[in-house]
Chains A and B, each alone.
Chain A
């Protein structure tokens, strides 16, 4: 059972480049989300989705786009990378509605913007 799979694990970009962070889950979860983790700040929500075709902004959405065309996949796009986006990115999924429900996290993508 793969759970939540994120690719790539590591990436180095130059300022202004674009890229897509991939996230896939095989648990048929409706709810998926993207977080960024920065030292001393915990995890902050970037975007989330409550089902295919439905996305919404989280706490820190600027500079990121998402789409949800299938239940399984929830890619995160950086259109023009900036050094402030250097971070570790985590994708998570859970059953929905999920009050009290467990979120399942991927192993993360470590992204450096030069």
Chain B
């Protein structure tokens, strides 16, 4: 079956530090890959996505590249802000699965301190 593994948190950083959250996946076929972000008390919001190998998704200074050879989709940001404190979820959508189901990783809580 499909699965997503991401690094456990919490990750605590100082403002302007570099952030990396590792994500690897197992899937049949060629999934689409996503990063969703959840701010305190809110639902999940799409942060970025990539639909095929070597695609780079980017948004709000965050980037992730779809690496088929290493089955990875690591999230990076060069200079974090306090407002980036949230829980980040890596997810995949399998084209062989019925509907548009997402398989999620366990989430990584990020805390950015001033």
Q: A43-B89, A103-B46, A105-B43 are in contact. Are A98 and B100 (CB under 8 A)?
A: yes
- B101 within 8 Å of A (CB atoms): yes
Q: Cβ of A21: which chain B residues have Cβ within 8 Å of it?
A: none
Are A50 and B98 in contact (CB-based, < 8 A)?
yes
Judging by beta carbons under 8 Å apart, are B100 and A43 in contact?
Answer: no
| Interchain CA distance A48-B36 in the complex, whole Å | 19
Stretch at the interface among A64-72, A78-86, A89-97: A89-97
- Number of contacting residues on A, CB 8 A? 30
Q: For A50, what are the chain B residues with a Cβ–Cβ distance below 8 Å?
A: 98-99
Contacts of B102 in A (CB 8 A): 43, 45, 103
Closest to B97 in A: A99
Q: Are B44 and A90 in contact (CB-based, < 8 A)?
A: yes
Contacts of B93 in A (CB 8 A): 98-101
For the complex, is B77 an interface residue (Cβ under 8 Å from A)? Answer: no
Q: A45-B101, A108-B43 are in contact. Are A100 and B49 (CB under 8 A)?
A: yes
Cβ-based interface call for A1 (8 A): no
Please name all residues of chain A whose beta carbon is closer than 8 Å to the beta carbon of B21 when the two chains form the complex.
none
Stretch at the interface among B11-19, B68-76, B78-86, B103-111: B103-111
Interface footprint category on B:
20 to 34
B65 to chain A, nearest CB (A): 16
Question: Out of A31, A40, A90, A105, which one reaches B100, CB within 8 Å?
Answer: A31
Interface residues of B in 1-27 (CB under 8 A from A): 4, 8
Compute how far the CA of A80 lies from the CA of B102 in the bound complex, rounded to whole angstroms.
27
CB <8 Å contact, B106 and A40: yes
Q: Which residues of B contact A (CB under 8 A)?
A: 4, 8, 32, 36, 41-46, 49, 51, 89, 91, 93, 95, 98-102, 104-107
Q: Given A43-B104, A99-B32, A103-B44, output 15 extra A-B contacts at Cβ < 8 Å.
A: A4-B43, A31-B100, A35-B104, A42-B104, A42-B107, A43-B89, A96-B100, A99-B51, A99-B95, A102-B46, A103-B100, A103-B102, A105-B36, A107-B41, A108-B43
